[in-house]
């Protein structure tokens, strides 16, 4: 992941916190902000691992650290893709926050129809954030990073899977109900976005870590 993306991640986090929308959008913004924080922490972890591959240690240790660095870098890139897609979705929610739809004779905010999809993201991102946060430590005004365990990596991938599932469900709902709710035709998440995330996630899952 290019170094400039760390600044982009921090900027994204600030933007998400500025959203003043309804409950569903605020919840989604919180999930994404945590995911952005995870990505920033993993960038630091990757820098540390990269130094280990060039420093002392046996050839076997260097090779093991290269594998770990490759996985961490791939997950960080995946999180950046999730962030970009999430920004598009939040911008869309913001643009349509005042629109309503009628479900079973009841008028409700358009974005509230997505509320049921947010639960899996909440649980997975909380677990991933709790796994990533201890990896970053501040000692005498300097930050250090620990190498994630296999269990940490599993939790991080669970969070990415939850985002992918939510995005896929958003897309499917929009496709199935666009005739009833024409605004859904403008949902910015495309099948190409879903396919890209799926490809990245599948590639990471196949990479050796330990």
Average pLDDT, the chain: 81
Cβ neighbours for 76, distance < 8 A, ≥ 6 positions apart? 1, 5, 39, 42, 43, 46
What is the per-residue pLDDT for 22? 60
5, 13, 50, 180 from 175: Cα distances, Å: 32, 30, 43, 10
What is the per-residue pLDDT for 59? 83
Contact 94, 19 (CB under 8 A): yes
Look at residue 3 and tell me whether its pLDDT is greater than 50: no
Picking from 161, 182, 20, 173, the residue whose alpha carbon sits closest to that of residue 82 is 161
What is the per-residue pLDDT for 49? 85
Look at residue 12 and tell me whether its pLDDT is greater than 60: no
pLDDT confidence of 1, banded at 50, 70, 90?
very low
**Strand pairing category for 136-139 and 106-109:** unpaired
16, 22, 82, 95 from 133: Cα distances, Å: 19, 28, 19, 33
**Rounded to whole angstroms, how far apart are CA atoms 190 and 34?**
24
**Least confident stretch, 52-56, 170-174, 186-190:** 52-56
Kindly report, residue by residue over 83-137, the tens digit of the pLDDT: 888 888 888 888 887 888 776 677 777 777 776 666 677 787 888 898 899 999 8
DSSP string, 52-119: HHHSSS-HHHHHHHHHHHHHHHHHHHHHHHHHHHHHHHHHHHHHTTT-EEEETTEEEEGGGGGGGGHH
Look at residue 40 and tell me whether its pLDDT is greater than 60: yes
Average pLDDT over residues 15-35: 66
The better pLDDT of the pair 171, 199 is held by: 199
What is the per-residue pLDDT for 90? 83
């Amino acid at each position: 992941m290019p170094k400039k993306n760390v600044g982009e991640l921090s900027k994204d986090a600030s933007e998400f916190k500025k959203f003043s929308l309804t409950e569903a959008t605020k919840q989604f913004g919180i999930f994404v902000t945590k995911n952005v924080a995870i990505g920033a922490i993993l960038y630091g972890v990757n820098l540390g691992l990269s130094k280990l591959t060039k420093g002392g240690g046996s050839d076997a240790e260097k090779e093991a650290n290269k594998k770990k660095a490759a996985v961490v870098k791939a997950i960080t890139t995946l999180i950046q893709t999730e962030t970009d897609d999430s920004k598009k979705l939040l911008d869309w929610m913001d643009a349509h926050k005042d629109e309503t739809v009628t479900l079973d004779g009841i008028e409700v905010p358009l974005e509230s129809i997505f509320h049921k999809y947010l639960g899996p993201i909440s649980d997975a991102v909380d677990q991933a954030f709790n796994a990533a946060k201890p990896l970053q430590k501040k000692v005498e005004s300097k930050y250090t990073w620990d190498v994630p365990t296999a269990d940490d990596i599993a939790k991080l991938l669970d969070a990415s899977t939850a985002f992918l599932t939510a995005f896929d469900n958003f897309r499917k709902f929009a496709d199935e109900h666009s005739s009833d709710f024409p605004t859904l035709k403008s949902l910015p998440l495309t099948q190409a976005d879903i396919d890209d995330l799926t490809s990245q996630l599948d590639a990471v899952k196949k990479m050796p870590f330990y």
